């Protein structure tokens, strides 16, 4: 499948947190948009998770480690490790990969169509 991010409808994965999801057979890739101050509360899942901040800032907690990240900041979260993240005052856009795939996201609600925040021409 070849497409553009703009053609992928957003999925609401947390309150006010949207993801454009690309499902593969062995992994899930998502571009996630967090609003200013947006919070993904502590949770854990069976999927290993890797991520990269594209724009904005985040305060990330993985297990007992907390770190502020900006563009170029990365994270690795092993399966079943508790973690949470809060976006900074300008919000954030991140890209994340999950293995095995996030099959649980298939049942989430799609959000109304919007233009992705990234990439931007600003």
- Residue 31 belongs to a domain with what CATH number? 2.60.120.10
Lowest mean pLDDT among 4-8, 103-107, 117-121: 117-121
Banded model confidence at residue 120, pLDDT cuts 50, 70, 90: confident
Q: Please, what is the average pLDDT of the chain?
A: 95
Asked if the model's pLDDT at residue 122 lies above 60, the reply is: no
Is 82 strand, coil or helix?
coil
User: Does any domain span residue 50?
Assistant: yes
As beta bridge partners, residue 49 has 77, 98
Number of domains present in the structure of the chain? 1
Question: Residue 11 pLDDT > 90, yes or no?
Answer: yes
Give the bridge partners for 67, in sequence order. 60
Domain assignment present for residue 97? The answer is: yes
Strand locations in the chain (E): 11-14, 17-23, 28-34, 39-43, 48-62, 65-69, 74-77, 83-99
44, 82 contact by CB (below 8 A): yes
Asked whether residue 3 is assigned to any structural domain, the reply reads no
Domain presence at residue 2? no
Q: Is residue 49 part of a domain?
A: yes
Q: Which structural domain, as residue segments, surrounds residue 103?
A: 16-107
CA atoms 95, 11, 108, 58: torsion sign: positive
Closest C-alpha among 32, 33, 78, 70 to residue 53:
70
């Amino acid at each position: 499948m070849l497409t553009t991010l703009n053609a992928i409808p957003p999925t609401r994965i947390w309150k006010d947190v949207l993801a454009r999801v690309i499902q593969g057979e062995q992994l899930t890739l998502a571009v996630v948009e967090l609003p200013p101050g947006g919070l993904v509360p502590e949770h854990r899942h069976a999927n290993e998770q890797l991520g990269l901040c594209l724009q904005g800032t985040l305060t990330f907690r993985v297990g007992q480690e907390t770190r502020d990240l900006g563009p170029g900041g990365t994270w690795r979260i092993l399966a079943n490790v508790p973690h949470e993240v809060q976006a900074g005052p300008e919000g954030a856009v991140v890209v994340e990969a999950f293995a095995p795939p996030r099959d649980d996201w298939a049942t989430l609600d799609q959000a109304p169509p919007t233009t992705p925040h990234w990439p931007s021409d600003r």
